[in-house]
Structure 1
Amino acid sequence: MKRKWLVFTAGVALTGGLWGCGALTAGAGKDANWSSYGGDDNEQHYSRLEDVNEQNVGKLGLAWSYDIDTFDSYSQPLQVDGVLYFAVGLSVVHALDARTGKLLWQYDPDVASQPEAKTRQRAGWGTRGIAYKDGLVFTATREGRLIAVDAKTGKPRWSVQTLDEAENGYITGPPWIAGDKVVIGFGGADYSPTRGYVTAYDVKTGKKAWRWYVVPGDPAKGFENKAMEMAAKTWTGEWWKYGGGGTVWHAMAYDAKYDRIYIGTGNGWPWNQKIRSPGGGDNLFLGSIVALDAKTGEYVWHYQTNPGDSYDFNNAMDIELADIEIGGKKRSVLMHAPKNGFFYAIDRENGKLISAGEFAKQTWAKRIDPETGRPETNPDSLYPNGKTFLMYPFANGAHGVQAMSFSPKTGYSYIPVMEGGRYVTDPANVKDWQYKPGMFVNTGLGAASADLPPPPPATSKLVAWDVANNKIAWSIPQPQVFNGGTLATGGNLVFQGTNDGNFNAFSATTGRKLWSFPAQNGILSAPISYSVDGKQYITVLTGFRSSFPNSPNWDYAQQSRRVLTFTIGGTKVLPKVEMADMPIQDDPAFVVDPAKAKIGAGIYNTSCVICHGVGMMAGGAAPDLRKSGVPLDADTFRSVVHDGALMARGMGAFGQLTDAELEGLRHYIRLQARETAKKGK
């Protein structure tokens, strides 16, 4: 297959200290790097730097900014020896001079032209991050390639297709370094029959070192290892026909102390256990933290947060490591705050639970048994006999992939928390449930009655969790629902961007807001901090996406997606930006056919809604279709939706849609546009 790359090289000398190979967060002298997703192997999203602190943070100012031409910038950068690296959109990697923001090179893996992208480009998600090791930058692409890029030149060194056994998989998460291996997982277990796995490759050569499957396959074909044989005993029915799920689509962490890689596993496919495993069972290793030997990929231990998970309470959220004194004893602790609303402290040596406490509202469990580590599940949360249950947290979870951080100084973990409810129930006849192929979410759950009152409005807050004492230390309310990841620093500060367009600094001890900068865009990415030439910088990427409208609502096409870098005494000013109120588009000659619109509603609410918004009111993840002229012309609409004319901008190709379904979508869009126009929304 022909591979293409795009490299821009700035006219600078690529020699000297700018292009070193150091990858330690605490570098030599006064410099410090940020070489891993969470800073270093501990993945704490913590910087020990303290030049910027509670006393002088009021003097923090913008050092430089860099405008990003992309459709999605929900990503986190790295910084190594004076160079800032980040990837956005379809894994387009950038290298900037960390002092000035000057572009050094750019590498585009040309995802949209790859044949696999036609079926793997789910929704409009971009990449969430990259990895660095020994002069190589690692990026993973939507359609499944893991690519090593030369950190000096921006040219690819090697590339391998990692989804050779996952035809329905796709990648949005970052690679993770584990010693001399680079490990990658993937997503896709919301859409179609998928069996999750992670794969490790040699950092230097790209040669596959090992692969570990998350759930067992068809027993008739034998099991890959003892772990899969053990796991199969916890499944019932013919689960392998459903793939099983368990994809590892985001968080991992490497523990150098034990030479292990910890992985956070995902939901089953479909979500509803009554379909995939009708006789019950724990369904290992769904909804778990699993420890693997980094050299061999062999199973070491696991801790399952949600046995038999039917809720999509996956464990893709941060896995952070620290040595903490708990109960008068120093413990090697794995910290984890997944979707389900409990904060877990787990012993890294043996996988045993140390403590678990509620950091957000949840209704699915009465408690986590401290002796067994298992949840005491609320029976009503399993919606027996077709009953409907108001579940907390909602589908987005109490904590999503917006990074939490941990400060060894305070002993607190800082979590961007969401609190929302949702109704859960079985389909009308669960035994007759059918998989809907294509790019459609297949949960196996039923629709709640329209007669039910809507759940209370979702809210958000920033929570400081006292890990040693298993309780909330402080909590402050935040705007809307979705806010950015956090960074803790040695200056006793917590940095976080919010969806109202501000970048903030809080006291790590009390939560008091000490500083704020108007970023001109909502922020979901987590900040990083590093020093170059003895000067401390804080960098964050701006950009917002949601399935729900916000206030202010960050229009997809008008967002000011940027890299913002701050330092004490910074004096740069952002150009003034005003977002226009785009009108709803219409053609009076277009006559809506209610029957066709009903077909379109079914398509929209099982696929399009994730990006284009609930009720067709977009939240920044994709264009507001009511305000777009594309659906007004049948040929243009087909070229975009069916043929993938805008794949390079993140819009997938829905080639499985029939002419009738495409036309139904057009009629539904017109119907929604006119109804909301009448209401003035």
Structure 2
Amino acid sequence: MRFKSIRYLGLVSALASLAAAAAYAGDPVPGQNPAQILTDAEDGDDWAAFGRTYDERHFSPLSQIGEANVANLKLAWFHDLPTGNSVSGPLAVDGVLYTATGYSVVRAFEADTGKMLWEHDTGATGLAGNKMHQGWGIRGLAYWDGMVFVGTHDGRLVALDTRDGSEVWSQMTVGKDDVRFISGPPRVFDGKVIIGHGGADVGPIRGYVTTFDAKTGKQLWRFHTVPGNPADGFENEAMEMAAQTWSGEWWKYGGGGTVWNAMTYDPDTHSIILGTGNGAPWNRRVRSEGKGDNLFLCSIIALDADTGEYKWHYQTNPGESWDYNSAMDMQLADLEIDGKPRKVVMTAPKNGFFYVIDRTNGKLISAEPLTKVTWAERIDLETGRPVEREGIRYEDGKTVVMWPGPNGGHNWLPMSFDPRTNIAYVPELQQPGTYNDRGIDPKAWKFTPGANDPAVNIDLTSNEPGAGTSEVVAYDVVNRKKLWTIPNPGFWNGGTMATAGNLLFQGNADGTFNAFSSRNGKKLWSFDAQTGVLAPPITYTVDGKQYVTVLSGFGVSGALFGDIVARFGWQYRSQPRRILTFSLDGAAKLPPAPARQELAPVSDPTFELDPDLAERGATVVGRRCIVCHGVDLKAAGIAPDLRVSPVPANAGAFDAVVRQGALVSRGMPAYPDVSKEDLDAARHYIRMKAREYAESRM
């Protein structure tokens, strides 16, 4: 199928969108059952969902490219992308490739040639306002019946016509002026589309998911993941039950539990399964008087797919206080365990364990550590609860060092699962975190608008052996054991994809895209992508030929970790960002790699540095800037390095960018609530770091 090229830009009002949706009769692809490509595990021609099919396995049955010939894999085509996030998972349906990058700019290409068919900019940067304070960009798309669906940073869910990229409908899914935002991919099931949101790290957010009619955009149901103020009444019995596990006036803090990533549809039980996030704030002493399990934080929740009615839940971290959220991908399988057939859901959340759960009732089957775990001795299989080690809740101002840290033993970059061998391939992380809440008064603490302040003091640096490393773990799900590992060259490692060709594909922070034997982890092929590759790859066919596609460009929350991710030298403005597509007979070549430049810090010898102001500025920068600009301002490619930027050197320019929002259209949020005194303090801190950087280069 080929479509006429068109560029569609701009926004349509909600009224016009609904009118267009009413006129749009679904217009399905001829001969295609819209659910078939999401349920047929044996047909690998398309990759129509974030995890390919409803089961979210990130596995393809294609084997045209396999162990014997993957060494011949070559670049078929590439497309340069503009500056911005390029770590999302693409889709491929009926010979057309769909990608979403930056702040929800969607593009369609001929999947075999790379010819762009259309582009749709959702205009999110101009609408997001204070929702921009978590600048992740978009991570993926969904497909159903001739439409692709994308979430936007300002909180809309948008349906686009795959023929020309025009908007079919658009619905605002969050409060217009709250700090909720969308970064994860929607999921579709049975004619419905579901979306969650993020934001619990920067404001008093109560998490929820919302489900819409895929054809018309009409809202069908909403499920909150934590209870609200009891005085307002509870939406359902599940919220009334959950409220019994909270204390104090938790609703004033929102509670958290956002579903910012993981949602899986189980057609066998007709359930939508959610993975929920951390508390708002992280510190349970603040949000819930230090008491209770705080349902449904850090939980796997099953809901009736038609009504959103609660079915069951499993909580990985009762009363969590460390950002050990359970929003990592969840995969479905039918396995024989202990001689009995079981329908299971598998997940590897942040806390370092690999969980296998009965998806018919939520009962725990197994939970084994994948990475270094020091916060718990084990998971009790009878109760399903972790056996916590003493002192991990940093009581009485004590400091605790825990493995893994808040970035987790596994983050959102997806694992894959081979149903032929029952082996999961998990991109695993190794980094501790240091926690205490000294100086934090639980009764006086409140959210600072737009700031990352979890009511916990956190240190992410470590000199312990293994800190700041990563690997792929091949995990035998049935026999509950690690089989082998592949050490990765950096801390952040890419999402994985397994295929019936006995291959495992993964990109890495060092700028390589690789294929390994999924039987033993031996590297069989590698491609120099000229920049970091973290996005999950996909594979599909066009006219009977198998292709592999991945997006390149280093830009994820790894900026939080300074040197351990910045050491590869990727620069925000100069690193290439591309769509890369491969085949066995590819003939394309990348242009020469841009020279890696160590940018010089801006010299400002007349600036009179005030050490006291710089110390105050470290707090301002730490709460508002390091998520993108990095620990010690080592940004690692996700945002400009402020030590070498001329903007902070000029007070007027700095105010225009930070407080007035001069660069909002380029993804830099505005912080109008930052006082001029705090802004000046931040300048002193940045100038101090620039001088330290200059001295280190001498």
User: TM-score when scaled to structure 2?
Assistant: 0.92
How far off its partner does 1:217 sit? 0.6
- Whether 1:94 aligns to 2:111 is no
1:375 to 386, 390, 395: 386
How far off its partner does 1:165 sit? 8.2
Q: Tell me what 1:461 maps to.
A: 471
Q: In the TM superposition, what whole-angstrom CA distance separates every residue of 1:243-290 from its partner, at most 9, and x where no partner exists? A: 111111111101111111111001111101111111511110000000
Q: Tell me what 1:223 maps to.
A: 234
Q: Tell me what 2:672 maps to.
A: 655
- Whether 1:637 aligns to 2:654 is yes
Q: Distance in 2 between matches of 1:453 and 1:616?
A: 17
Greater displacement, 179-188 / 573-582:
573-582
- Whether 1:526 aligns to 2:536 is yes
Q: Tell me what 1:327 maps to.
A: 338
How far off its partner does 1:665 sit? 1.5
Q: Are residues 99 and 447 of structure 1, via their aligned partners in 2, closer, same or farther at CA, if it must alter by over 3 Å?
A: closer
Greater displacement, 25-34 / 390-399:
25-34
Q: In the TM superposition, what whole-angstrom CA distance separates every residue of 1:406-443 from its partner, at most 9, and x where no partner exists? A: 01122110011111111111233533542242211121
Q: Tell me what 2:310 maps to.
A: 299
- Whether 1:148 aligns to 2:159 is yes
Q: Tell me what 2:249 maps to.
A: 238
How far off its partner does 1:584 sit? 1.1
Matches within 5 A, 1:41-80: 41-80=54-93
Matches within 5 A, 1:582-601: 582-601=599-618
- Whether 1:348 aligns to 2:359 is yes
Q: Tell me what 1:11 maps to.
A: none
1:576 to 581, 592, 597: 592
Q: Tell me what 1:106 maps to.
A: 119
Is the contact between residue 44 and residue 62 of structure 2 (CA under 8 Å) also seen in structure 1? no
Q: Distance in 1 between matches of 2:234 and 2:28?
A: 52
Q: Which amino acid aligns with 2:580?
A: L
1:619 to 636, 639, 646: 636
Q: Tell me what 2:491 maps to.
A: 481
* Secondary structure at the counterpart of residue 624 of structure 2: helix
Large movers: runs of 4+ above 6 Å: 15-21, 26-31
- Whether 1:40 aligns to 2:32 is no
1:606 to 615, 619, 623: 623
Q: Distance in 1 between matches of 2:173 and 2:592?
A: 44
* Secondary structure at the counterpart of residue 442 of structure 2: helix
Q: Distance in 2 between matches of 1:16 and 1:662?
A: 53
Is the contact between residue 4 and residue 109 of structure 1 (CA under 8 Å) also seen in structure 2? yes
Q: Which amino acid aligns with 1:78?
A: L
Q: Distance in 2 between matches of 1:335 and 1:651?
A: 37
Greater displacement, 585-594 / 605-614:
585-594
* Secondary structure at the counterpart of residue 407 of structure 2: coil
Q: Are residues 16 and 128 of structure 1, via their aligned partners in 2, closer, same or farther at CA, if it must alter by over 3 Å?
A: closer
Q: Distance in 2 between matches of 1:149 and 1:486?
A: 28
Q: Tell me what 1:158 maps to.
A: 169
Is the contact between residue 28 and residue 146 of structure 2 (CA under 8 Å) also seen in structure 1? no
Matches within 5 A, 1:540-559: 540-545=550-555, 546-547=558-559, 548-549=562-563, 550-559=566-575
Q: Tell me what 2:295 maps to.
A: 284
Greater displacement, 367-376 / 435-444:
435-444
Q: Which amino acid aligns with 1:35?
A: A
Q: Distance in 2 between matches of 1:102 and 1:435?
A: 51
Q: Are residues 19 and 621 of structure 1, via their aligned partners in 2, closer, same or farther at CA, if it must alter by over 3 Å?
A: farther
Q: Which amino acid aligns with 1:58?
A: A
Gaps of 5+ in 2: 1-8, 13-26
How far off its partner does 1:372 sit? 1.4
Matches within 5 A, 1:430-441: 430-441=441-452
How far off its partner does 1:376 sit? 0.8
Q: Which amino acid aligns with 2:644?
A: K
Q: Distance in 1 between matches of 2:134 and 2:552?
A: 20
Q: Which amino acid aligns with 1:86?
A: T
Q: Are residues 478 and 30 of structure 1, via their aligned partners in 2, closer, same or farther at CA, if it must alter by over 3 Å?
A: closer
Q: Are residues 322 and 159 of structure 1, via their aligned partners in 2, closer, same or farther at CA, if it must alter by over 3 Å?
A: same
Q: Distance in 2 between matches of 1:518 and 1:637?
A: 37
Q: Are residues 31 and 383 of structure 1, via their aligned partners in 2, closer, same or farther at CA, if it must alter by over 3 Å?
A: closer
How far off its partner does 1:555 sit? 0.7
Is the contact between residue 20 and residue 80 of structure 1 (CA under 8 Å) also seen in structure 2? no
Q: Which amino acid aligns with 1:378?
A: R
Is the contact between residue 123 and residue 651 of structure 1 (CA under 8 Å) also seen in structure 2? no
Q: Distance in 1 between matches of 2:83 and 2:395?
A: 46
Q: Tell me what 1:167 maps to.
A: 178
Q: Tell me what 2:5 maps to.
A: none
Identity of aligned residues (%): 49
Q: Which amino acid aligns with 2:591?
A: P
Greater displacement, 576-585 / 618-627:
576-585
Q: Distance in 2 between matches of 1:212 and 1:586?
A: 53
How far off its partner does 1:18 sit? 11
How far off its partner does 1:375 sit? 0.8
Task: Tell me the matched-pair count.
Answer: 668
Q: Are residues 331 and 29 of structure 1, via their aligned partners in 2, closer, same or farther at CA, if it must alter by over 3 Å?
A: closer
Greater displacement, 146-155 / 320-329:
320-329
- Whether 1:680 aligns to 2:687 is no
Q: Distance in 2 between matches of 1:388 and 1:406?
A: 38
Q: Distance in 1 between matches of 2:587 and 2:344?
A: 41
Q: Distance in 2 between matches of 1:127 and 1:43?
A: 18
- Whether 1:667 aligns to 2:684 is yes
Q: Which amino acid aligns with 1:106?
A: E
Q: CA RMSD in A?
A: 2.2
Q: Which amino acid aligns with 1:80?
A: V
User: TM-score when scaled to structure 1?
Assistant: 0.95
Q: Distance in 2 between matches of 1:403 and 1:409?
A: 19
Q: Distance in 2 between matches of 1:30 and 1:181?
A: 23
Q: Are residues 84 and 18 of structure 1, via their aligned partners in 2, closer, same or farther at CA, if it must alter by over 3 Å?
A: farther
How far off its partner does 1:394 sit? 1.2
Q: Tell me what 2:397 maps to.
A: 386
Q: Distance in 1 between matches of 2:330 and 2:43?
A: 28
- Whether 1:561 aligns to 2:580 is no
Q: Tell me what 1:492 maps to.
A: 502
Q: Which amino acid aligns with 1:477?
A: P
Q: Tell me what 2:517 maps to.
A: 507
Q: Are residues 293 and 165 of structure 1, via their aligned partners in 2, closer, same or farther at CA, if it must alter by over 3 Å?
A: farther
Q: In the TM superposition, what whole-angstrom CA distance separates every residue of 1:27-63 from its partner, at most 9, and x where no partner exists? A: 7998610000000101000000000001111111111
Q: Are residues 250 and 95 of structure 1, via their aligned partners in 2, closer, same or farther at CA, if it must alter by over 3 Å?
A: same
Q: Distance in 2 between matches of 1:29 and 1:290?
A: 28
Q: Distance in 2 between matches of 1:166 and 1:639?
A: 22
Is the contact between residue 64 and residue 565 of structure 1 (CA under 8 Å) also seen in structure 2? yes
Is the contact between residue 534 and residue 554 of structure 2 (CA under 8 Å) also seen in structure 1? yes
Q: Are residues 604 and 261 of structure 1, via their aligned partners in 2, closer, same or farther at CA, if it must alter by over 3 Å?
A: same
Q: Which amino acid aligns with 1:107?
A: H
Q: Distance in 2 between matches of 1:30 and 1:441?
A: 44
Q: Distance in 1 between matches of 2:443 and 2:362?
A: 39
How far off its partner does 1:446 sit? 3.0
Q: Distance in 1 between matches of 2:359 and 2:695?
A: 58
Q: Distance in 2 between matches of 1:205 and 1:646?
A: 35
1:538 to 548, 560, 571: 548
